[in-house]
Each structure stands twice: as C-alpha cells, then as structure tokens.
Structure 1
Amino acid sequence: MSATTIAVASFLLLVAAGAVAPAPARADCAAKADTFSPPRGARDVPTNVKPFIALYGYGRAQVVKLLRAGAYLRAKGHRVKVTPRAYTGYATESVVLSPASALRPNTTYSLDVTTPQGARLLSYSFTTGASRDTRAPGSPSPRNVKHTYTRFGCGPADRIAFELAGALSDDKTPAKALRLRFDVVERAPGRKPHKRVVVALPGSRSLGHGMCAGNAELRPCATYDFRVSVVDYAGNISAPSPKLSVKTKCRRTP
C-alpha cells in the first residue's frame, strides 16, 4: 500500500469518525480504513508500548476475532504475544494490544493479521527506541463543550464536541499522536445509568460519531457525565479532567 493510499484512508477515517469535519454536506464513506498509534513506520517507540488500532469498514470484526485467537509482535528471531482489548464504537472497533513482556530496544516489530486462507487483513510495523516510558501525559482541560446533531448524506453526525485549553503534552509521545479516553456515565430516561470507557482516535476532540463512524452512539434526551484523560504510546493515562455533563438534544431534526 502506498504512502498516499494510507494517508487518504486515514483522512477518510478521521472524517467519518468526526475528528475532521467534511467540507461538503454530502461525502462518501471509506469502505475500509485503519488508524494506528504509534503510526506505521514510527521510530523511537517506547519498549513498553501498547499499540492502538482503530478499525473501520468491512472485515473489522474478523480482525478482532483473529487477534483474540492469538497474535504476536514479531522481530527477527523473536516474538512477543499480545493480548487485545477491544472497544466497540459506532461502526468502529478499536483495539489496544498489551505485549506479554517489554519489547527489545532498537528493534523493528511487525504485526500481520491473515485469514486461515492466507488473505492479509492488516499489516503494521514500528521500531522501538532505547527505553521505556513510565511518565503519564499532562491532564487535559476541555472547554466549550456542546452537543451537535447534523444529518449528512450517508448518516448523521451526533457528537459532544469540545476544545482543549492548551496543547496536549507528553515526554515521549508526539502531541498529535496522543489520544483521549472517556470515562462515561450515560443517564437516559427509563434506563439504568450505564458506565463505560470510550477510546478516541488521535486528534479526535469529541464523544459520539461523525457521518459514518465514531467512538460511541449517543441517545437522544440523555445526560452524559464524563471525564477526559490523555493516553500515550505506552498506555500511561493522565489524571482525568474535571467532570463534564451534557444533555443531548431530545428532538433530532433532519
């Protein structure tokens, strides 16, 4: 796959998930797009990395199933078993991979997911640096939090969006590669409060979904209490933000 193809696929996934706003009111959804953190080909990755993969489009459920059946990060003459933890979003599956042991320094590792018939569904590689990362990122400060609902050509964008006061920061993970985690309590009429953890793509600043995909489905007329944390390459989690509370719109106009 060429660098241009990868870049286009990643951009389409960000548009679909709502991390990047589409220019026209109608836009085509990508048939398949995967996002990786650290990104493909990244270098100087901490040896205690916990790779994050967001899967959108056809084949995503099969990839998760194959990862659960047994997956390894492989290097020359060496392999490390990884345990996946999956998070189901809106038309999206996100997976955090936890290696059974720290990786070797200054080593290139690859992950390939293939079907029993030999069809390759996913290919990913990165190179470690010399050390671990044990320091958590700085805590985020969300502001201007609001719920928006807009209908597009291939589906509605329904999300709780916000800005961050100041840039995200970490000692080893680039700011643009840091991703957000939401600890959410959903309170909907006639339903018991529902607690869950929602993970977001690097660059995303919203809870919910864009026109085709996203990290969560929101209910109308529901109250969402949540805190936002920042996660780095090694899975270190920042202190959470203060609690935020937003009620979604009760009427959804086309």
Structure 2
Amino acid sequence: MKLSIIALLAFIPVAFNCLADCAGTGLSAFPYQGEINKNTVFVLDGYAESQQVINGLNEKFPVYLKSGDERIPLKVLEIHVGQFYLTQAVLKPEMSLIPGKKYQLVIDHLPDYEKLGVYNLKTHGFDPISYFVTDTTDMEAPVWTEKPQEKDKSLTHFGCGPSIHVNFKMDVKEQSEFLVKTTVKNRKTGTETIYYIGGKEGLSIGHGMCSGAFTFDDSLEYEAKFQLMDASGNISEETDWIAFTKPID
C-alpha cells in the first residue's frame, strides 16, 4: 500500500501538467471570419468537452446567423467524430444570405465555460465571429493540380503523449478557403474515419499531443483518400486510395 501511495503522488504532478498543457474545451469555425459568398457553408469543430456542443446542435444548442433582428438557422448536414477529442459539424443556412449584410455566428445556451469567438489579445476576451456577405455565388469546384503524395512522417514524444503525423504534398486550384475531406482506413481492422481537415498550409494525417482527427494503433498499414470542399460547399473529384504506414521510432 505504501508503494502504491508513493506511485500515485508521483503521478499527480504529471497529471496536473498535462491538464495545464491541454485545454479542456474549444470551439472553432470555418470559414474563420471576414467576407463570404452568398452560398457559403460552415464547419464547426469541438475539442474535448466542447464535443457535446457539436453533438447537440439544434437540439440543446440552436445554431444560427444573426443580423439585427434577423435569424437564419443553420442546418446540420454532416457530423464527423474524430479519433482523438475532436468532433465536427458541416452546416448550411436554411435561407439565402443577403449581400451587403454582416452576420454573426451564434450558438444559444452555451455553458459559461464555452466560448465561441475570436480571441482578442488586447482585451483578453472573445470577439464575435462575424461575416460580411458579398454579391457572389461560387458554383465552381476546387481542382487538383497535383494530387496528394506522401512527403514525410514525424513522431515527437511529449510528457503527455506523442505528436504523430504523416504529411502529404499536393497542389490545388481554388480562390477561396477550402478543407480536405479525408477518409483514413486501418487496413488491419477495416475501420474508416472521416474528417474535414485544413489543407492550405499542407495536408497532415495524425494528431498532436492534445487532440487530432486521426490516431494510429498497433496496426502499421493504413490508406487514405481525399476530396476537396471549398467554402461554398463545392466538391472536387475524390482521389484513389493511397497506402501509407504509420511513423515508428
């Protein structure tokens, strides 16, 4: 018993360090903010405890765009559950957005500890996520000018867990912001996981110390396929499956 208590006391500082390094909640939106087209779609991500908000959208947590007294509900089109503390929803306005108007993204009934907004370094608070609607409708899908190819792998061990990624190079023809609908299959179990991830700064499959869309278990072999979605919901052609192996020490 004495040894068990000593082991527990030794573990406590590590646990507190992990809690300090990794936040307990987090909500983020795509597009981030700024100008949007009339036919924009939105993607909300919830980290850790905030995953409950994503799963409860329009049930416990109404989500909409607000401009003055006008409210435009956002319909949930897709829900995707990541493998390491991330869940996301793809949303579409139920009515047309009006050019020239400024809309604020709102989620009602959020717990006090949840913050939806843009962090302000000066005030140390959160400013609303706002969009200005242009008189543009984008109906053109993104185009692969170079389909994804594996570039390299990385594995870094931290005190609270590893950061592990398989990185792909690619090139895309697209004027607006875009995400990459990524499907990863574990070739040993056949399990598939789908998640929209950022691709503008490079495409990376895996997770950081605190969270990520994809994890790797004891299986070595995986494969992935990719499809582009721009900020107006236009979808590119899907790639073929691309085989890869997880990073190892």
Q: Which TM class, normalised by the smaller chain length?
A: 0.7 to 0.9
Q: Secondary structure at the match of 1:52?
A: strand
Q: Per the alignment, in what secondary structure is the counterpart of residue 83 of structure 1?
A: strand
Partner of 1:55 in structure 2?
46
Show the counterpart of 1:39: 32
Query: Map of 1:48-197 to 2, 5 A cutoff?
Result: 48-57=39-48, 59-69=49-59, 70-84=62-76, 85-89=78-82, 90-115=84-109, 121-123=115-117, 124-139=129-144, 140-164=146-170, 166=171, 168-171=172-175, 173=176, 177-188=177-188, 191=189, 193-197=190-194
Give 3-state SS (helix, strand or coil) of 1:62's partner: helix
Distance 2:215 2:56 in 1: 25
Offset at residue 204 of structure 1 (A): 5.0
Aligned to 2:16: none
- What amino acid maps onto 1:28 in structure 2? D
Q: 1:222 to 1:144 in 2, by over 3 A?
A: closer
Q: 1:149 to 1:125 in 2, by over 3 A?
A: same
Match of 1:212 in 2: 210
Distance 1:92 1:120, change over 3 A: closer
Unaligned runs of 5+ in 2: 1-19, 118-128
Partner of 1:228: 226
Structure 2 contact 51–85 (Cα < 8 Å) conserved: no
SS of aligned partner of 1:121: coil
Gaps of 5+ in 1: 1-26
Kindly tell me: are residues 201 and 30 of structure 1, through their superposed partners in 2, closer, same or farther at Cα, counting changes over 3 Å? farther
SS at match of 1:86: strand
Name the residue aligned to 1:237: 235
**Alpha-carbon distance, 1:108 to partner:** 1.3
Report what 1:10 is aligned to: none
Distance of 1:97 and 1:196 partners within structure 2: 19
CA distance, structure 2, for counterparts of residue 119 and residue 209 of structure 1:
25
| CA separation of 1:28 and 1:120: change in aligned 2, threshold 3 A | closer
Question: What's the CA shift for 1:113?
Answer: 2.0
Change (3 A) 1:225 1:118: closer
Aligned residues: 213
Q: TM-score, normalised by structure 1?
A: 0.72
Percent identity between the two aligned chains: 23
- Alignment check: 8 A CA contact 1:147 1:246 kept: no
> Which amino acid in structure 1 is aligned with residue 215 of structure 2?
E
CA distance 1:96–1:225, change in 2 (3 Å):
same
Q: Do the aligned partners of residues 201 and 53 (structure 1) sit closer, same or farther apart at CA in structure 2, a change above 3 Å counting?
A: farther
Aligned counterparts of 1:206 and 1:180: Cα–Cα separation in 2 = 10
Superposed CA RMSD: 2.6
* Greater Cα radius of gyration, structure 1 or 2: 2
Instruction: Identify which of 176, 197, 200 aligns with 1:200.
Output: 197
Which amino acid in 2 is paired with 1:126?
Y
CA deviation after TM superposition for structure 1 residue 161, in Å: 1.4
- Cα distance, 1:129 vs structure 2: 0.7
- Amino acid of the residue matched to residue 115 of structure 2? L
Q: Secondary structure at the match of 1:64?
A: helix
* Distance of aligned partners of 1:148 and 1:110 in 2 relative to their CA distance in 1, 3 Å threshold: same
